[in-house]
A and B are shown apart, each in its own frame.
Chain A
Amino acid sequence: MGGVELLQFALAGLKNGAIYALVALGFTLVYAATGAINFAQGEFYMLGGMLSVWAYAGLGLPLPVAGLVGVALTAVVGGVFEFLAVRPRKDGDLLAIIIITVGGSMVLSSAARHLFGPLEKALPAFSGTGTVSIFGAVLEIQSLWILGLTTLAVLALWYLYNRTSLGRAMRACAVNRDAARLVGIDPRKIVTVSFVLAAALGALAGLAVTPLTQTAFDVGPSVGIKGFAAAILGGLGNPIAAVAGGIVLGMLESLSIAFISSTYKDAIALVVLLGVLFWRPQGIFGASRREKV
């Protein structure tokens, strides 16, 4: 195997990894705020693509505006979903919230099926279907968009967490809800904000990927599982770890194809995931959360 091929495998892994990372970020945000896994995260990815296609092809808006509309509407859906379905469960019981999000994912995909039909839909690439050559390996320009948007999302989240009072309140909630409430933070507000942001991030991923893959009402669950695996692999609750987990997962899959077999790529990735979790249950990059008694 030549160096160019190896680089090509690495680029493919990076591209898939960036997609997983964007979805994983959504899992991480909701986990930090509630301690629960939001299984509707994949549906936010689906809605980002579907609503953008609707705004672009259905309403005839220019692509950048249509993309913003798609992401914004999905963020609203995320907020409304939290308000109507998650918030009424006042005791914050984790299992109940998880089941609610599973139910929510079914409702969202069924709604999309009825509103937009069963067929897959296409969206043009943001800036042409060209490619760039990197030492002989090629990457679609659209993949550069995906990588760029992932980087941007991470930077924005870092800024939010470290430089704004809202972000500090979110971190405080993640560390200790009750203590946060004692210092005047409303955890319910933080949960809503987390769902809105998670929905926006999922939608951003769906929007960026749709020009490469098309989208349909049923694309959510498979992407959701990959994003979930990436979040766990990296370490739940930490945005940088989620991104790293996504990249590692994407690379693992690509290298499995390169050196072993494409038939077993998902199985190999899952075995590595389980292995890592036996070794470090908090994820590769997750901070240890050992209980102090």
Chain B
Amino acid sequence: MAGARGHFALLVALLVAIAVVPVSGCATDAGPGDDGATDNGEAATGEPYRIGAVLSLSGTLAGLGEPERNTILMEVERINEAGGVNGRPIEVLIEDDASDAETAVAVTSRLIERENVVALIGATGTGGTMAMRQEVDRAGLVQVSVAGGTVITADFHPYVFQTPWSNSIVVPFTLAYLQDQGISRIALIADSGGFAKDGVDVMKDHLGDFDVEIVAEESFNPGDADMTSQLTKIRATDAEAVVLWNAGAEAATVAKNMAALNFDIPLFGSHGNARVEFIEGAGDAAEGFRFAAGKVLVPEAYGEGTPEYEVATDFIERYTERFGKAPDTFAGHAYDALYLIVEAMQRLPEEFTSADLRDEIEATSGFVGIGGTFTFSPTDHNGMTEDNLVMYDIRDGEWILAE
């Protein structure tokens, strides 16, 4: 084999190059505009209001982007059949950011320059959402993100809103629950992604408010096949519970590894694990797994007969009928983002500026959505509180409300 050393230099270069491929490579997956929704309703006529949506339909966040797109397609039809906004239909142009921040910027720029959108939904991920900000800032457009990172609204921008419960709400809620359960020593295991890092940082900030301490802290990488080593280290500590913070498929592996190692302490997760794929993947090991999330998974949590319950069950019914499975929390975040924008537009006169729309969304008070009831203020663009959360427990492969 000629020049083995020369080849080696080439191989190392490629080892570095390939690390970039999974991210940028997916951009070829679906070209911009492939998924542009052009559902013009019959009830509403005239020039449509155009809203841009930047969602991850390919790449690592595709599992979140798909229910978000489904929801937007379904609800846009419903809104237009009901007369649209001020008699004019709305049109949501959905662009795929391939779970990549750079692509999110590029498609956002296209939506702003070429499509003249009046507002933006997205991105699916926190990284994409933050990367879009330069474009949002430049164009002075309203952005309603469906990503969960605390930074999105903590790093405040007057034109940026966020529908998911951020870690800054879920973490204290979870810590309070642990304290109520008499658990004071926890072992933390989190992946190296942005959502988990954010969760861990928020947790460390809030520890002082609770009688809970972290006795072990382990991490893993997205894509790791086995966390037995990390859990073996945790098992050697005097932790009374394991708290997992991540949003990927590895959660099921953690649960299964714990079961294999015969752990006798419970496992707690986060709203990032509120996916039926976790239960399918972990099987029996999912039993007793507890995590905090919004009430959409078990609508009875809203309280039967309440407006929240009516809105959620109606949505769940229509979504399940159309797509053959119940909506998850991510579908709910997209629902909330769309209606927060549309209802503000409906309250405005036919012609409005971005500043008018921003002010009107900020004035939203008591909007009943899927994630909860939203009330924004000039300093709070998330609008959620711990009241919108409940603790779930997995029993016999189903979500039930934890005691």
Contacts and interface: CB of A to CB of B under 8 A. Distances in A.
B226 A12 contact: yes
A117 B280 CA distance: 16
Nearest to A98: B14
B320 interface: no
Contacts of B375: none
Interface stretch (A3-11, A62-70, A163-171, A184-192): A3-11
Interface residues on A, range: 35 or more
Contacts, number: 160
Interface stretch (A76-84, A149-157, A196-204, A215-223): A215-223
B8 A110 contact: no
Interface in B5-50: 5, 7-8, 10-12, 14-15, 17-19, 21-22, 25-26, 28-29
Contacts of B221: 222, 266
Contacts of A117: 66
Chain A CB count within 10 A is highest, among B4, B65, B280, B284, for B4
B260 A258 contact: no
Contacts of B260: 131, 138-140
B252 A258 contact: no
A162 interface: no
Contact of B63 (A13, A120, A282): A120
B7 A94 contact: yes
Interface in B217-255: 218-226, 228-230, 232-233, 236, 249-250, 252-253
A105 B11 CA distance: 17
A121 B252 CA distance: 11
Interface string B340-372: 000000000000000000000000000000000
B29 A113 contact: yes
A11 B14 CA distance: 31
Contacts of A258: 229, 232-233
B277 A120 contact: yes
A19 B12 CA distance: 22
Contacts of B19: 225
Interface stretch (B54-62, B154-162, B164-172): B54-62
A219 B8 contact: no
Interface in A99-120: 102, 105-106, 109-110, 113, 117-120
Interface in B65-116: 65-66
Contact of A213 (B10, B60, B65, B250): B250
A212 interface: yes
A257 B229 contact: yes
Given A13-B229, A222-B221, A37 B59 contact: no
A11 B225 contact: no
Closest 6 CB pairs of A and B: A118-B62, A222-B223, A12-B228, A257-B229, A221-B22, A120-B249
B7 A12 contact: no
B281 interface: yes
Contacts of A15: 226, 228
Contact of B218 (A118, A140, A217, A262): A262
Contacts of B8: 277, 281
B18 A224 contact: yes
A16 interface: yes
Interface residues on B, range: 35 or more
Contacts of B12: 277
Contact of B18 (A119, A139, A219, A221): A221
A16 B225 contact: yes
Interface of A: 1, 5, 8-9, 11-13, 15-16, 19, 35, 37, 39, 94-95, 98, 102, 105-106, 109-110, 113, 117-122, 124, 129, 131, 138-140, 209, 212-214, 216-219, 221-225, 228-229, 232, 237, 253-254, 257-258, 262-263, 266, 277, 281-282, 289, 291
Nearest to A236: B11
Interface string B248-284: 0110110010011110000000000000010011011
Chain A CB count within 10 A is highest, among B12, B17, B224, for B224
Say whether chain B's binding surface is mostly helix, strand, loop, or mixed: helix
A37 B11 contact: yes
Contact of A216 (B18, B25, B249): B249
A43 to B, nearest CB: 11
B225 A223 contact: yes
Contacts of B2: 291
Contacts of A131: 260, 262
A277 B5 CA distance: 11
A5 B261 CA distance: 11
Interface in B188-242: 192, 218-226, 228-230, 232-233, 236
Contacts of A105: 21, 25
25 contacts: A1-B236, A12-B228, A13-B229, A16-B226, A35-B1, A94-B10, A110-B28, A122-B277, A129-B284, A131-B260, A131-B262, A138-B262, A212-B253, A213-B225, A213-B226, A213-B249, A221-B21, A224-B18, A225-B15, A228-B15, A229-B15, A253-B229, A262-B220, A291-B2, A291-B3
Contacts of B14: 37, 39, 98
A105 B221 CA distance: 21
Contacts of A138: 260-262
Nearest to B65: A118
A291 B6 CA distance: 12
Contacts of B229: 8-9, 12-13, 253-254, 257-258, 262
Nearest to B9: A281
